[in-house]
Amino acid sequence: MSMSQQRPLGSIFELQFPQSVGIYSSYADAQKAVDFLSDEKFEVQNLAIVGTELKSVERVLGRRSWSTVILAGVQSGLTTGVLVSLLIFVFLRPQGFLALFVLALVTAVIFAVGIGALGYAATRGKRDFTSVTQTVATKYEVLCEHKVAAQAREMLLRLPGARAAAFE
């Protein structure tokens, strides 16, 4: 792309007058369609894959109890203590490193267990589980600049399996 063709960074995700050229049930299928168009020498810089019909998925990882909260605090504190100790050692080269190392570990463990316990106590048993949340799309739409959308649709009809999918 020459300098005159480059878009400002803020508009890299924007198409001027986008039109839908295909809707797919998975990202892999949408990616396959764009790859097919690329193989057919279509100017793919006119395309965008947009995840639509978003849903939030929360995966429950396990039960929370005082023992799991304290154990997580100890693990977090140990990690933090080791990291802080090593940083101090690398940058300051203290004389009594072993004493500093033990002090940093103990302080970090006490602090992490205390913060974790306060957080758990604040929930008052209303959230006795750990989880991770992710937003996922249920459909993926391939959008195209209006000036070449008809060409993209026509080319996608040649994608293996495209005609059968149109009747589903």
For 28, the token pair is 């892999």
What is the residue extent of each domain of the chain? 13-56+137-156, 65-127
Helix (H) or strand (E) holding 61: strand 47-63
CA distances from 146 to 25, 79, 152 (A): 23, 54, 10
The architecture in CATH of the region 13-56+137-156 reads 2-Layer Sandwich (3.30)
* Per-residue model confidence as pLDDT tens for the chain (168 residues): 444 455 555 567 788 899 999 999 999 999 999 999 999 999 999 999 999 999 999 999 999 999 999 999 999 999 999 999 999 888 988 888 888 889 999 999 999 999 999 999 998 889 889 899 999 999 999 999 999 999 999 999 998 876 555 545
Q: What is the dihedral of CA 51, 55, 59, 63, to 10 degrees?
A: 150
